[in-house]
A and B are shown apart, each in its own frame.
Chain A
């Protein structure tokens, strides 16, 4: 079983607030990813990282930012939440020599 964790699982927050979604993995994986999942279930890559101090933007433009100061930790931050940010956010990781990604349980964000 994959050891990748996301907190909080559910978050309801008002417009304009700053939020950080946490993602941690204990598998020592170099690569980590953030996906945004829309109500139609389609997944969009918004950020990824190859390792410590490496962050890249994904295919879908996002107002969020990420950091990778430690191998096991890949938090996502929204400086000023808006209703358009309401979505499910999924974190994933994989090892250098593997093509298989392991996913966390997701954070369902609602911005009112």
Chain B
């Protein structure tokens, strides 16, 4: 079945450091891939998405590239800020099953200190 594996946290960084959060997936066919972010006390917000191989999703300085050959969708940011502290979820959606829910990874907590 489809699944998502992302690196375990917590990830602790200083402000302006480089961020990578690894995400790999197992899926039949060609899934769409997402990164969601959850700030303390809030629901999930879509951060970025990619719907086909080699697509790069980007938003708010975050980027992730859909790599079919390595089944990966790693999240990166060149210079993190304290305000980026949150929980990040990698997720996939099976395009052959438009009605089904997303499949989420377990989440990675990011803590950025000044």
Interfacial residues, chain A to chain B (CB-CB below 8 A): 6, 31, 33, 40-43, 45, 48, 50, 58, 90, 92, 96-97, 99-106
Contacts and interface: CB of A to CB of B under 8 A. Distances in A.
B104 interface: yes
A105 B43 CA distance: 4
Interface of B: 32, 34, 36, 38, 41-46, 49, 51, 87, 89, 93, 95, 98-102, 104, 106-107, 109
Contact of A106 (B32, B42, B51, B93): B42
B101 A58 contact: yes
Nearest to A54: B99
B44 A99 contact: no
B27 to A, nearest CB: 13
Contact of B34 (A90, A100, A104): A100
Say whether chain A's binding surface is mostly helix, strand, loop, or mixed: loop
Given A58-B101, A97-B98, A42 B107 contact: yes
Contacts of A31: 99
A99 B42 contact: no
- Max count, chain A CB within 10 A of own CB: residue among B34, B43, B100, B107: B43
Contacts of A96: 98
29 contacts: A6-B43, A31-B99, A41-B38, A41-B87, A41-B107, A41-B109, A42-B106, A43-B89, A43-B107, A48-B100, A50-B99, A58-B101, A90-B43, A90-B44, A92-B44, A92-B101, A99-B34, A99-B51, A99-B102, A100-B49, A101-B46, A101-B101, A101-B102, A102-B46, A103-B36, A103-B43, A104-B43, A105-B43, A106-B42
